[in-house]
Structure 1
Amino acid sequence: MGMLRRMFWDLVCFIELLVSTLVHATYALNIFLSAVWIDFMSSFTSSPQENARISPVIEADDSETDNRERSNCVMVRSESDDHKIGYAGSFMEGHEKAPIVLVHGIFGFGAQKLGKISYWGGAEKRDDRVLAPDLGALTSIHDRARELFYYLKGGTVDYGVERSEQYGHSRFGHTYHQGHYPDWDSKHPIHFVGHSTGAQVIRLLQNMLADKTFPGHEDTSADWVLSCTALSGALNGTTRVYYDGIRPEDGRSMKSVSLLQVLRVAVLLYEWLDIPILKRYYDFGFDHYNLQWHKAGIRGLVDTLRNRRGPFVDGNWVVPDLSIHSAVQLNKKLRTFDKTFYFSYATKGTKKWFSRWTLPSSVLGTHPLLFIRSLQISLWRHPRELPLPYEGYRDEDWLDNDGALNTVSQLYPRVPYEHSNCELGTDLSSLKDGQVLQPGIWYYTTLVADHIFFVINRERAGVHFDVLYDNIFQRCRKQLRPSLKSS
C-alpha cells in the first residue's frame, strides 16, 4: 500500500513538472515570437531610425547641485525608534530632474532587448529622464549590481577578483564606452525603482557604493542613491523556489528532478549555441562564464550539462539568491541608509476562504502563468524535520502571495531583523493625516495584484497602471523635497 501511495505521488509530481514546463515554455515563446513579429511588421511601416531603441545618455544639469545649500544636521524621532536622519531642509534641493532608473527582475530585460516590447509596459516613456538598463536575466544579485554600476557610470564591468576566482568566471564583462549617467555621484544622485529581484539589486548596489568596492571609484557613497522604490520586491526571499527545486535544507542546491533542472539544461544549450539573432533579442547574461561553443567546445558543453562547471555548480545565479536562507544571509549585510528614501509596493493575489484556507482570490484576475504557482505557495509548509530558515519563522506568515513572491517578503527588510518601517495607506495619491516622509524608513503599502500586474502588459492593469507609476514618478519629482522642508 505504501509503495502504491509513493508511486501515485511521484506521478502527480511528474505531471506537475510537465505542466509547469509547458506553461512557462509557452509563455516565454509567446513573448519572444511577439517581439520578433512586432519588429518584422514595423519594418514595413517605419524607417530604420524609428525602429532603433537607443538609451539616452543623461548629463547632469548644473542647476542640480551647485546652487544648493545644506542646513544643519538635525535628528528626528520616529514613532517606532530613535531614528537619526541626516541633512534635512534643503538636502533634496535641486534634484527634481534626477534620473529615475528602472531595474527589472528575474527573466527581465531592458530597453535594449526584445525589440519594441517593454518590460515596464511603457512606463519608462512617462518621464523624459528615465533609464531602463538591460541586466543579466538570470545572473546573481551580486553580478547584476556590478553590471548596473558600470551601465550608469561607464567602463568595463568588474565582478571582482575574489568573486571570479570563487565561481570560476572571467573577472571582467561588458564594456560601456559611454556611461548612461556618467556624472553620477553624491551631487548628482539617482532615484531607483526595482521590480522583484531588482529591489535587492538596488539595495546591494547602494551598500557597494557605501563600502567603496568599485576599483578606480574611491569617492562612492550611499548618498549616490536618492530614493529606492521596491515594486513587488524580493526583499526577504520566497518559498516559491523550494517548489521549483531549491532544497530547503540549505536554500542553494538543486533537487535532481525539478523545474529548475529543466531550466538549467535549456539555458546552458541556449548559451552554448550562441546564435546572434537570438542573443540580440534575449540574453540570460552568462557571457562572463565563456559558455559559448567557440570558447567551450563540445567538452565544455558536456562539463556544464554534467554540472562540473558554470553558474549552476555553486549557485551563482539568481534563483538560489531568492531562497529565504539566502535572503537572511544577504540581509545581514545590507543596511538602510539615513539619507535615502525607501518605498515598497507589495502585491497580494490571495485571500482567506471560509476563514480557514489561504488561496488565490480570483481565477480570472490572476495571470494564467501565476495561478498554479500562487496555489502552490499558499500550500507550502516548511519540512518539520529541518531547522527553520530564521528564528521566529512561521508558515502562516508566508501564505499570502502574488503568484511569485510571498507578500510578507515584499513589505520591508524583516529577516533576520526588521528595518525601520511605516505603513502608508492604500490611497497612493496622498499620505495619512499629519504624516511626513523621512529618509531611512521603509514606507510600504499593499496592493491587490499579481506579480506581473504592473509590468509587461499595461492593458491588464489599465488605470491602476497609470496611477501607480504616476505616484512613483511624482513622488520622486515633487514630494520628497517639500516633505523634508516641512520637517
Structure 2
Amino acid sequence: MSDSWKQATEASSLQCRCFPLVIVQGFLGHTESRIWGDFERHLNQNCPECERKVIFASVGPVSSLHDRACELYYSLVGGTVDYGEEHSKAHAHSRYGRTHAQGLYPQWSLENPIHLLGHSLGGPTIVKLQYLMKQGHFGPHAHPDWIRSINTISAPFRGTQAVYTLGERVDAAPKVRPFSAGSMLSKAIHTISYFSPILPKAFDLHTESRRLSFRDISIFCLLKMLWKSEWAESQDAAPFDVTFESADQREANQEGQPYPQTFYRSCATYLTEKSEQNSNLHTVSFTNSLSFLLVAPLLFLARVIGSFDFSIIRPVPSFLDEISTIPTDVEKGKLYTADYRKSLPEEYWANDGVVPLFSQWHPASCCSTRCQHVETRVPAPGIWYVEQWDKTSHSSLVPLWVASDRQKQYWLNLGRWLRGIELQGVCT
C-alpha cells in the first residue's frame, strides 16, 4: 500500500464527505431501485462515518444518447428539459421535454460534484452529458468538472454487433430489416407511447417530445408509424447510437476524451472463451451457459457476437483501419474475411452476451485515449482505468441483485474507489 493511500485512509477519520452516486440505467432500463437490491451496504462499507446518497436518474429507456443526456441533466438540477434548438430541428421533435419541478440534486455544482455510474447504454449517456457540458449546451454555468468521476459497467462505447443481429441494416443503418426483432420492438414502443397517458409509470418511455400519444396523434397516424417508423429508423434513437458508424462519429468529435479533473473507471465483462486454439473467435461453453442461467436470447447473442463477420459492415468501422495488417481491396472497399479474422485481436469477439469486450474499455482506441488496463488503488484524474471481469454476463453485476459474491465484491471495490478519489483532496 502506498504512502499516499495510507495518508488518505488515516485522514478519513478527520474529514468525511461522500459525494452522491447517480445511477444511469441502460437500454429499456426503467426499474429504479426495485431490483437493484441491497448493494448500498457493500458500497458504504469503507466509509462508516457517513452513508453515500444514491440517486437513480430517470432518462428515456429508448432515447438517443443526446436526448438521454439532456434528460439526465435536468432530472438532477430541475427545470424543463431543453434538447437544443439545432438538435430538435435536425431530428424533427419538440425542443422541450418534461418539466422537473424539483431536481434530484439541485445543488449540483463545482462545490457539490457527483459521481456517475452507468450500466450498458448508461455509460455512453454519461460521457455524452460531460461532452455537452463542455460544449456549453446547458449554458456557461454548467461545467464538466461538476462530474467528479465516471464509472461504467458493460458499456457499448464503440458499438456492438448485437444491434445488427437484432435488426439494424449492416449496409444502411439506421434502417431496420422488416420483421426483425428490432422492427417488432419499435412497434411495441410506438404502441406503448400511444397509450402512455393511461399506462402505469413503469411504461414511461419519455417520448413526449415526439408527440406519440393519443393526445397528440390519431389512430391513423399510429398505424402509419407501425408500418414505418421514422423515429426508430433515424439517427436520433438508441439503436443507431450503438452502431459502429455512430461510435465513429462520436470519436471524430472527440467525445469521451478524459477531462483533467475527472476520474474514469470502466468495468468490462465477458463470459465467452476462444472457440478454437488457432482462432480469435469466441463462443459460450455449455458449462458457462449453465453457470449463469442465461436466457436463450442472451446465449444466442453471445455466440453470434463471438463469430460476427465485420467485413459486411458499411461503412467500414474505424477500428478495422487501426489494424494495419488487415489486407483490403481499396478499389472495391472489401475486407478479406479470412485474413482479418487472424489479425483482429480476440477482444473484438469476446463478449458478455450484449457488448464486445473492446467496446467496453473506453471511448476511442487505446492509442488515442489515456488509459490504464491494470488495477490501481490510487487513481489519478484524466485517465481511463479499465478492469476486466471474466465469466461475467451483461447482467451478472447489475441490475438484478442476487447477493452473489461477485456483486458484493464489485460494490465493495467501487466504494473503495470513490472514497479514494474523495480523500485525495484531504491529503494534498
Tell me the equivalent position of 1:229: 151
8 Å contact kept, 1:252–1:326: no
Q: CA RMSD in A?
A: 2.4
Residue 317 of structure 1, CA deviation: 1.0
Amino acid corresponding to residue 479 of structure 1 in structure 2: G
Any idea what SS the aligned residue of 2:309 has? coil
Residue 285 of structure 1, CA deviation: 2.1
CA distance in 1 between partners of 2:31 and 2:74 (Å): 15
CA distance in 2 between partners of 1:473 and 1:109 (Å): 24
CA distance in 2 between partners of 1:211 and 1:305 (Å): 36
8 Å contact kept, 1:138–1:317: yes
Q: 1:237 to 1:384 in 2, by over 3 A?
A: closer
In structure 2, list runs of 5 or more residues that go unmatched.
1-10, 44-50, 324-339
Amino acid corresponding to residue 299 of structure 2 in structure 1: F
CA distance in 2 between partners of 1:308 and 1:373 (Å): 25
Residue 231 of structure 1, CA deviation: 0.9
Q: 1:146 to 1:139 in 2, by over 3 A?
A: same
Residue 286 of structure 1, CA deviation: 1.3
Tell me the equivalent position of 1:253: 175
Q: 1:312 to 1:149 in 2, by over 3 A?
A: same
Larger RCO, structure (CA 8 Å, separation 6 or more): 2
8 Å contact kept, 1:250–1:325: no
Matches within 5 A, 1:384-403: 384=312, 386-390=314-318, 391-392=321-322, 396-397=344-345, 398-403=348-353
Tell me the equivalent position of 2:398: 455
Residue 124 of structure 1, CA deviation: 5.3
Tell me the equivalent position of 1:322: 242
Tell me the equivalent position of 2:298: 370
Which string of whole-angstrom CA distances, capped at 9 and with x for unpartnered residues, describes residues 254-286 of structure 1?
1233111111111111211236243x1222221
CA distance in 1 between partners of 2:125 and 2:101 (Å): 23
Q: 1:275 to 1:182 in 2, by over 3 A?
A: closer
Tell me the equivalent position of 1:305: 226
With normalisation by structure 1, the TM-score equals 0.72
8 Å contact kept, 1:346–1:446: yes
Q: 1:264 to 1:298 in 2, by over 3 A?
A: same
Matches within 5 A, 1:82-161: 96-111=17-32, 117-118=34-35, 120-123=36-39, 126=43, 127-161=51-85
Tell me the equivalent position of 1:84: none
Same amino acid, percent of matched pairs: 27
**2:184 aligned with 1:262:** yes
CA distance in 2 between partners of 1:234 and 1:181 (Å): 27
8 Å contact kept, 1:152–1:184: yes
Any idea what SS the aligned residue of 1:294 has? coil
Which of 164, 177, 184 in structure 1 is aligned with 2:108? 184
CA distance in 2 between partners of 1:142 and 1:282 (Å): 21
8 Å contact kept, 1:249–1:386: yes
Q: 1:252 to 1:486 in 2, by over 3 A?
A: farther
CA distance in 1 between partners of 2:164 and 2:384 (Å): 28
Tell me the equivalent position of 2:91: 167
8 Å contact kept, 1:437–1:484: no
Any idea what SS the aligned residue of 1:402 has? coil
The answer to which of 349-358 and 401-410 deviates more is 349-358
Any idea what SS the aligned residue of 2:299 has? helix
Q: 1:302 to 1:98 in 2, by over 3 A?
A: same
**2:369 aligned with 1:419:** yes
Q: 1:416 to 1:381 in 2, by over 3 A?
A: farther
Larger radius of gyration: 1
Tell me the equivalent position of 1:241: 163
Q: 1:263 to 1:206 in 2, by over 3 A?
A: same
CA distance in 2 between partners of 1:324 and 1:436 (Å): 33
Amino acid corresponding to residue 330 of structure 1 in structure 2: R
Which string of whole-angstrom CA distances, capped at 9 and with x for unpartnered residues, describes residues 322-380 of structure 1?
01111111122213101100001000110114414521141113421411110111121
Amino acid corresponding to residue 242 of structure 2 in structure 1: L
8 Å contact kept, 1:251–1:326: no
Amino acid corresponding to residue 463 of structure 1 in structure 2: D
Amino acid corresponding to residue 238 of structure 1 in structure 2: T
With normalisation by structure 2, the TM-score equals 0.82
8 Å contact kept, 2:171–2:313: no
Residue 486 of structure 1, CA deviation: 7.2
CA distance in 2 between partners of 1:413 and 1:95 (Å): 32
Q: 1:189 to 1:484 in 2, by over 3 A?
A: closer
Q: 1:481 to 1:386 in 2, by over 3 A?
A: closer
Q: 1:385 to 1:248 in 2, by over 3 A?
A: closer
Residue 415 of structure 1, CA deviation: 4.3
Residue 410 of structure 1, CA deviation: 0.5
8 Å contact kept, 1:251–1:324: no
CA distance in 2 between partners of 1:195 and 1:437 (Å): 21
Which of 384, 401, 418 in structure 2 is aligned with 1:442? 384
CA distance in 1 between partners of 2:167 and 2:193 (Å): 21
8 Å contact kept, 1:189–1:226: yes
